[in-house]
Amino acid sequence: MKETASQPYCSKNKYTSNLTYSVVVPFHNEEDSIPELYKRIVEVMEGRYEPFEMVFIDDDSRDATYRLLKDLAACDKRVSVIKLKRNYGQTPALAAGFHYAEGEIIISMDGDLQHDPADIPALVEKLHEGYDLISGWRKKRVDNLILRRIPSRIANMMMEKLSGVKLHDFGTTFKVYRKDTIKRVKLYGELHRFIPALASWNGARIAEVPIKNIDRESGKSHYGISRTFRVMFDLITVRFLLKYVTRPLHFFGPIGLIGMLGGGFLSFFLLIKKLFFSTDLFTEHGPLMILAMMMFLAGIQLVCTGLIAELLARTYFESQNQTIYTIEKIIRGKRLPEVEEENQGVFGEATIKTNN
């Protein structure tokens, strides 16, 4: 079928329910990119990575994005379209796509043609080497140096150091996942760029592959320098989740203890001055008295916060029937069948498979 503005190119192919691959793409006001991106995905996937589906998410676009996606779904049964009721942002859009994707291998990419579907084979082949998540690496970036590349490099260095995951490029959406890996990760806020870090908590094997970074062919970028500041807050969240989610008192406790000890030491100093030197504390050390009380009270509050967080963590794990670990496989003696138990730990639901 010939591609037009009102009727995009459409590949006629039969749909099958036993899917191996899912291509998840979020869109927001990307009407100019849809026909070409769909065509490129089909050219790469057909005949090589089948059976496959395409899960397209419309994040409440204000242009013709939804109409074009709906037209694709009408002529290609492999296309599923999810329309969100309002503009939630990229992380919720991806989360919706991952939730409804049925393939054993899930490929995610942006909808603005800055990711080339021709790079999919390199990522999939690397995944088959025994990894659970393959991330694209925009090795040669074409973005603005001041507004994009320098802030991105600083953010990536901080993410690598704080998360412990060795990647050059956390920010790209172009990734390939095993289904059980991405289904374990629950996304909130703007944490999609931290998926490798969150997946590593469950023991995912992660690698990266260089990909092309293409200039945006149409439209305008939805990102600006303000995103850099939001990333800083996300870094704090991810660091806390990775290290302290099962033991929050270890985070709040030391800070609270320092406050209590500091306040106690100042109070003891002031008591000595009052008892042995008859010092008028209100006149000579009024600010110091206030500081001692504030430090001691703040320390108590932080310790209490940690204790409450410990109760909340236990409530979360026990109410959701979660464990604080992830099991890949259990092998028992010959009298029992081999059991493969996958448990989502912090970020998902448990599944058990038994092989007789």
The CATH code of the domain that includes 209 is 3.90.550.10
Give domain status of residue 72, yes or no: yes
Q: How far apart are CA 29 and CA 90, in angstroms?
A: 12
Same-domain status, 210 and 270: no
Q: Is the domain of 98 the same as that of 131?
A: yes
Domain boundary residue, one of 222, 243, 264: 243
Phi-psi map region of 60: left, alpha, beta (phi>0 left; psi -120 to 50 alpha): left
352 pLDDT tier (thresholds 50, 70, 90) = very low
What Cα–Cα distance (Å) separates residue 285 from each residue in 262, 275, 280, 292?
16, 14, 8, 11
Give percent of the chain above pLDDT 90. Answer: 51
Please provide the average confidence, as pLDDT, over all residues in the chain.
84
pLDDT at res. 341: 52
Residue 340 has pLDDT above 60, yes or no: no
DSSP secondary structure letters along 33-62: THHHHHHHHHHHHTTTS-SEEEEEEE-S-S
Stretch 33-46: mean pLDDT? 94
Can you list the alpha helix ranges (DSSP code H) found in the chain? 34-45, 65-75, 90-100, 120-127, 150-163, 179-183, 195-201, 226-244, 249-277, 281-284, 286-319
Give the SS3 label for residue 353. strand
Q: Between residues 4 and 209, which one has the greater pLDDT?
A: 209
Residue 231 lies in a domain: yes
32 phi and psi, to 5 degrees? -75, -20
In a domain, 271, yes or no: yes
For 330, which DSSP code? B
Same domain? For 74 and 186 the reply is yes
What does the pLDDT read at residue 131? 95
pLDDT, residue 5, reads 47
Give pLDDT, residue 277.
Answer: 85
Task: Look at the chain and report how many structural domains it folds into.
Answer: 3
**How far is Cα 355 from Cα 286, in angstroms, rounded to an integer?**
73
- Closest Cα to residue 65, out of 39, 30, 38? 30
Structure tokens at 5: 């503005």
State residue 76's pLDDT score.
92
- Dist CA 52 CA 122 (whole Å): 17
Within a domain: residue 14?
Answer: no
Residues 111, 181 within the same domain: yes
Measure the CA–CA gap between 128 and 3, rounded to whole angstroms: 35
Rounded CA separation 168/165 (Å): 9
Query: Taking a C-beta distance cutoff of 8 angstroms, is the pair 206, 132 a contact?
Result: yes
Q: For residue 235, how many other CB atoms are within 10 A of its CB?
A: 18
Whether residue 7 lies inside any domain: the answer is no
Q: Is the pLDDT of residue 103 over 60?
A: yes
**197-249 pLDDT, tens digit each:** 889 888 899 999 999 887 766 656 555 556 666 777 888 888 888 888 889 99
CA distance 154 to 160: 10
Mean pLDDT for the stretch of residues 103-111 = 95
Q: Which amino acid is at 253?
A: G
What would the pLDDT profile of 248-272 be if each residue is shown by its tens digit? 999 999 999 999 999 999 999 999 9
Q: Give the pLDDT score at 134.
A: 96
**Pick from 130, 136, 217: nearest CA to 170:** 136
Question: What percent of the chain has pLDDT above 70?
Answer: 83
**Closest to 131 measured CA to CA, from 221, 43, 199:** 199
Which structural domain, as residue segments, surrounds residue 352? 324-356
**For residue 172, how far is the Cα from the chain centroid?**
11
Residue 103 is assigned to a structural domain of this protein: yes
More confident residue, 191 or 225: 191
pLDDT at 297: 96
| pLDDT tens, residue by residue, 111-164 | 989 899 999 999 999 999 999 999 999 888 776 667 667 777 887 888 888 777
Mean pLDDT for 103-109 is 96
* pLDDT mean over 55-83: 94
Least confident of 48-52, 187-191, 278-282, 343-347: 343-347
Q: Based on the domain organization, do 315 and 328 belong to the same domain?
A: no
Q: What is the pTM of this model?
A: 0.76
Asked if residue 175 and residue 45 are part of one domain, the reply reads yes
Indicate the pLDDT class of residue 351, thresholds 50, 70 and 90: very low
Sheet (strand 79-83) strand order: 79-83, 52-58, 21-27, 105-108, 175-178, 133-138, 206-211
